[in-house]
Copies of this chain bind each other. A is one copy, B any other.
């Protein structure tokens, strides 16, 4: 069994209203040192080992997990700890 961590972030230049809302809220709470906030997603998959795992994960990202038009993704594959 493998643990796959997929990190999905918005591409540079894509507006991030959720990040802006977080930044404004932090300012309102007094944390004015925060100059920018951007929000991304993290998806943890437990995957049965098989051939071409990396290719299949890339396909999953392109087809379902991320929107390649506006998002970048990276993933790491490690041994799952049971």
Residue numbers of A with Cβ under 8 A of B are 1, 7, 9, 19, 22, 25-26, 29, 31, 33-50, 56, 59-60, 63-65
Docked pose: A70 CA to B49 CA in angstroms: 30
The listed residue (B1, B42, B50, B65) touching A7 by CB distance below 8 A is: B42
Docked pose: A1 CA to B1 CA in angstroms: 40
Residues of B within 8 A of A38 (CB): 43-44
Q: Are A40 and B44 in contact (CB under 8 A)?
A: yes
Q: Are A40 and B41 in contact (CB under 8 A)?
A: yes
- Nearest chain B residue, comparing its CB with the CB of A2: B33
Docked pose: A46 CA to B48 CA in angstroms: 37
Docked pose: A34 CA to B26 CA in angstroms: 37
